[in-house]
Structures are given as structure tokens and as C-alpha cells.
């Protein structure tokens, strides 16, 4: 960067910061907020040069350098197009409650999130804390991140040309419907991180938002605590993007064959709790768990395995219908001329903007998963796609428009998983239910 200037979000004018924060809040264009300051900086940079931010193609192009995994892009495009609007006051406490309901953990909604003023797990450690990162033998500890990285001798990963394919063969049989899913990355943005002082408690790796369940089994806090005690100093434990891909949990790949009466066989990568989940939707199916070399799997990830079971049900039925999540929320989706239309029943939303934002994000994630996402994992279980760009997450330019209608009343419940399952089923149906994901 020698000889160049870098403007971060702190370097924008007060007026720019206020306007963009308001627009992002008004449209629910930020959830966890990890991606947001970078996106705002890019949009402001081009706004200053006179870019037409009401033009979808222009904004799509600007967003192609970013990944927002939470919002599904649409609300960001809306905020960019309406950044000059004067927005009415809204109760952000209610918005925060709605977001927390969806995230399954406390989540802030407000200018501090958009402007990068909230602390993520690795923003908080004291100066001088040691840094611990993973290496092949365990952990490398250094006085700085650079030092710790150097001692591992690791080079940054890259996208592989190795083909990704579902790891389980279909069960033999004469099936009406078959489905094989492969390895995919949840792709939450804030990588696992925690820090701890020798006599303290470790920081929470979930700073703002739930990582779609992806950090449920993360051991970074435990490691930070034990290494702080061992070294007698505060220690930051950091996972790189590659570490998240290699060691973070994935939804269990499966292969399924179903007869028209709903009986059949599902093979699934061995995972605690998976059998009960599949059988709760497909009670007439046999479930066989198979050991497969690969990254760890968990049913803690968004709608893991019951969304797949709902897709199979939908394929057998031949049309989209309501699906019900364990939270009690229900959703029904259809794809109509490349528009995803979703009806959602999850009680009376506490805040309609954040309700819609989470529904759009879940719908985008489902559509992207079914049509585009995969991870290459070789026969000995090593992951080869190690960069954000290699996960296949659909870019803004390739994302269909999403319409959300709330039809619920009564006590509000989390709706994201129901929307995810309904949109996954509708997307697969729309693509003609080919056996293997992603469908393209």
C-alpha cells in the first residue's frame, strides 16, 4: 500500500456516515454487521465519483468485491438506491429483539453496527496479548499475528480446480425421487475468535449474530482460557478463513432414495442427532449413518437435514406447500419467473424491517445452496476450497428478487429456518428435482 491512501469508515464525513447508517437501518441491510463498513465505504467511494446507485447493475458490480452472507444482498441494494431518503423514526429496541430472536443470541440493531463501532471477538483483547493460531501439530503462539503465522510456515489457501461431488452413493433401489447433497460451507463472516486473561473468563466468539449455528461447537474460548493460564498472559485465539473451512462444522451430506409412498432409504454422514431429525419429517424412511472422511458435521447448522427431508417431501408431492420449523414458524415458497415469493407465518413480527431482512437472507441462502454452493473435499477428508470466493455463494448480480409476505399473528417466533427449508424445496422443484446438488 506504499504511497496510497486508504479511507476506512471512520474517514467518511459525518453527513455520509449518518445518511448511510440511516439507510442501512431503514432497510435491514445489516445483520451481524461484519461486512457492512467495507460495503458502505465502497458505495460511498463510488457515490462520490457520481455512480448511479439506483441502477441495479452498478450496485451489483460494486458488491462483487464483497461477501454479505446474512442479508442476501437485496436489502443492501435497496439501501443504496434510497440513501437520500429521510426516514421516519423507528423503535430500534424492537428491531434488536426481532434480530435476537432470529439469531438465537443478543443482536444489536443501530448505527454502531453499520458504522463498525461494535466490538467483534478479536477487537477486544488488551495490547500485548499473545496470539495463538492453528497449525498442523496443534497451535502456534507468537507475540504478534504475523509472528504466529510465520512460525507455522502456512501459505494462504486458494480455490481449487478439484471437482466437488456428493460423498455418498445413492442407496440401490427403484426410487421415485433421489437426492444427493455434498459438502458446503456455512460461510459466516466473522471467523472464530476469542481471548482470555489468565484469571478471567474467555470472550464470546459470537459478538453480534448467531453464525447460522456454525459456532455452536467452536472450541476457541476453551483454548483461549487454557492457553492464557499456561502462558500466564492474555491470549487471543484466532481462526483464519482456512481454519473455519477445515475445522468448522458443516451440514451433513446425505443421499436419499424415496418411493412414492414416502418410504425409502437415506444415507447420511454420521452425525449426532441426525436420525431423529430426518425421521421427524420422513417417518417411513430408514436412515443409515455412514462414517465419511471430511470436516466435522453437525445438525446445529441452519435447518440441517430437515430442510433436505422437506425437499424430498415436496418432490414427492410435486408442489410447494407449507413447511413447519421446530420453532413453530411456517413458510411456503414458490419461484415464479425467477422471483422467489415467500409467505411466512411466525407470529406478529416485532419489527417488520428486520423480519423481512432475515427472511430475505434465509431465502437467498437456500437458493444459493441448492443452485450453486459446494466445497471440494478429497477422499482422505481434506478440504480444498479454502477461500470465500470458492464456496459458490451467489453474487448479488445472480440473485433473484425475493418477495416476503408476513401472514402470522400472535407471539413472534424465529422464522429463518422455515423460510430456508421452504425456499430450498421450491428451488429444487423449480429446477426439476435433479438428483445432485448444486443444481446449477
Residues lying near ligand FES in the complex (CB under 6 A): 30-36, 68-71, 189
What's the closest the beta carbon of residue 76 comes to ligand FES, in angstroms? 8
Q: Which is nearer to ligand FES, 32 or 235 (CB)?
A: 32
Q: Which is nearer to ligand FES, 121 or 433 (CB)?
A: 121
SS (H, E, C) the chain: CCCCCCCCHHHCCHHHHHHHHHHHHHHCCCCCCCCHHHHHHHHHHHHHCCCCCCCHHHHHHHHCCCCCCCCCCHHHHHHHHCCCCCCCCCCHHHHHHHHHHHHCCCCCCCHHHHCCCCCCHHHCCCCCCEEEEEECCEEEEECCHHHHHHHHCCCCCCCCCCCCCCCCCCCCCCCCEEEECCCCCCCCCCCCEEEECCCCCCCCCCCCCCHHHCCCCCCHHHHHHHHHHHHCCCEEEECCHHHHHHHCCECCCEEEEECCCCCEEEEEECCCCHHHHHHHHCCCEEEEEECCCCCCECCCCCCCCHHHHHHHHHHHHCCCCCEECCCCCEEEEEEECCEEEEEEECCCCCCHHHHHHHHHHHHHHHHHHHHCCCCCECCCCCECCCCHHHHCCCCHHHCCEEEEEECCCCCCCCCHHHHHHHHHHHHHHHCCCCCECCCC
Q: Which is nearer to ligand FES, 75 or 430 (CB)?
A: 75
Alpha carbon distance 404, 238 (integer Å) = 37
Alpha carbon distance 99, 208 (integer Å) = 10
Which burial class, exposed, middle or buried, applies to 285 when counting CB atoms under 10 A from its CB (0-12, 13-18, 19+)? Answer: buried
Alpha carbon distance 33, 90 (integer Å) = 19
State the residue for C-alpha cell 443409515: 288
Kindly give the pairing relationship between strand 339-345 and strand 401-406.
Answer: parallel
Q: Which is nearer to ligand FES, 189 or 227 (CB)?
A: 189
What's the closest the beta carbon of residue 73 comes to ligand FES, in angstroms? 9
Q: Which is nearer to ligand FES, 208 or 372 (CB)?
A: 208
What's the closest the beta carbon of residue 21 comes to ligand FES, in angstroms? 14
What's the closest the beta carbon of residue 270 comes to ligand FES, in angstroms? 31
What's the closest the beta carbon of residue 31 comes to ligand FES, in angstroms? 4
What's the closest the beta carbon of residue 39 comes to ligand FES, in angstroms? 8
Q: Which is nearer to ligand FES, 35 or 429 (CB)?
A: 35
To the nearest 10 degrees (0 to 180), the angle between helices 74-81 and 352-371 is 130
Q: Which is nearer to ligand FES, 31 or 406 (CB)?
A: 31
Q: Which is nearer to ligand FES, 38 or 142 (CB)?
A: 38
What's the closest the beta carbon of residue 104 comes to ligand FES, in angstroms? 14
Q: Which is nearer to ligand FES, 31 or 371 (CB)?
A: 31
What's the closest the beta carbon of residue 209 comes to ligand FES, in angstroms? 6
What's the closest the beta carbon of residue 393 comes to ligand FES, in angstroms? 10
What's the closest the beta carbon of residue 67 comes to ligand FES, in angstroms? 7
What's the closest the beta carbon of residue 204 comes to ligand FES, in angstroms? 16
Q: Which is nearer to ligand FES, 102 or 385 (CB)?
A: 102
Q: Which is nearer to ligand FES, 26 or 68 (CB)?
A: 68
Burial 124-140 (b: 16+ CB within 10 A, else e): ebeeebbbbbbeeeeeb
Amino acid at each position: 500500500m506504499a504511497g496510497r491512501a486508504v479511507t476506512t469508515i471512520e474517514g467518511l464525513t459525518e453527513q455520509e456516515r449518518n445518511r448511510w447508517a440511516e439507510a442501512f437501518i431503514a432497510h435491514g441491510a445489516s445483520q451481524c454487521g461484519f461486512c457492512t463498513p467495507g460495503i458502505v465505504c465502497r458505495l460511498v467511494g463510488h457515490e462520490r465519483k457520481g455512480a448511479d446507485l439506483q441502477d441495479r447493475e452498478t450496485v451489483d458490480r460494486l458488491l462483487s468485491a464483497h461477501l454479505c452472507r446474512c442479508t442476501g444482498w437485496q436489502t443492501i441494494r435497496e439501501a443504496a438506491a434510497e440513501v437520500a431518503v429521510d426516514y421516519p423514526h423507528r423503535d430500534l429496541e424492537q428491531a434488536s429483539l426481532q434480530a435476537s430472536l432470529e439469531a438465537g443470541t443478543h443482536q444489536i440493531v443501530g448505527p454502531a453496527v453499520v458504522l463498525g463501532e461494535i466490538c467483534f471477538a478479536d477487537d477486544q483483547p488488551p495490547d500485548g496479548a499473545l496470539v495463538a493460531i492453528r497449525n498442523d501439530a496443534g497451535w502456534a503462539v507468537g507475540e504478534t499475528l504475523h509472528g504466529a503465522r510465520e512460525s507455522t510456515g502456512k501459505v494462504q489457501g486458494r480455490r481449487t480446480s478439484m471437482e466437488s461431488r456428493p460423498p455418498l452413493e445413492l442407496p440401490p433401489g427403484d426410487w421415485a425421487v433421489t437426492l444427493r447433497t455434498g459438502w458446503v460451507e456455512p460461510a459466516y463472516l466473522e471467523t472464530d475468535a476469542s481471548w482470555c486473561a489468565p484469571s478471567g473468563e474467555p470472550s464470546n466468539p459470537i459478538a453480534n449474530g448467531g453464525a447460522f449455528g456454525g459456532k455452536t461447537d467452536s472450541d476457541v474460548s476453551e483454548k483461549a482460557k487454557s492457553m492464557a493460564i499456561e502462558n500466564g498472559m492474555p491470549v487471543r485465539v484466532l481462526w483464519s478463513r482456512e481454519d473455519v473451512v477445515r475445522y468448522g462444522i458443516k451440514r451433513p451430506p446425505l443421499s436419499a432414495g424415496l418411493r412414492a409412498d414416502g418410504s425409502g432409504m437415506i444415507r447420511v454422514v454420521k452425525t449426532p442427532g441426525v436420525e431423529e431429525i430426518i425421521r421427524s419429517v420422513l417417518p417411513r424412511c430408514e436412515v443409515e449413518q455412514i462414517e465419511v472422511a471430511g470436516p466435522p458435521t453437525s445438525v446445529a447448522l441452519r435447518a440441517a437435514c430437515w430442510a433436505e427431508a422437506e425437499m424430498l417431501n415436496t418432490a414427492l408431492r410435486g408442489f410447494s406447500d407449507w413447511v413447519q420449523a421446530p420453532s413453530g414458524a411456517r413458510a411456503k415458497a414458490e419461484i415464479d419467473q425467477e422471483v422467489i415469493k415467500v409467505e411466512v407465518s411466525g407470529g406478529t413480527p416485532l419489527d417488520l424491517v428486520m423480519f423481512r431482512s432475515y427472511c430475505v437472507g434465509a431465502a437467498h441462502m437456500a437458493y444459493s445452496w441448492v443452485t450453486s454452493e459446494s466445497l471440494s473435499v478429497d477422499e482422505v477428508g481434506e478440504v480444498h476450497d479454502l477461500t470465500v470466493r470458492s464456496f459458490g455463494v451467489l453474487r448479488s448480480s445472480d440473485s433473484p428478487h425475493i418477495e416476503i409476505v408476513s401472514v402470522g399473528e400472535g407471539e413472534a417466533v424465529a422464522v429463518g429456518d422455515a423460510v430456508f427449508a421452504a425456499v430450498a424445496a421450491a428451488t429444487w422443484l423449480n429446477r426439476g428435482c435433479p438428483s445432485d446438488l448444486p443444481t446449477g
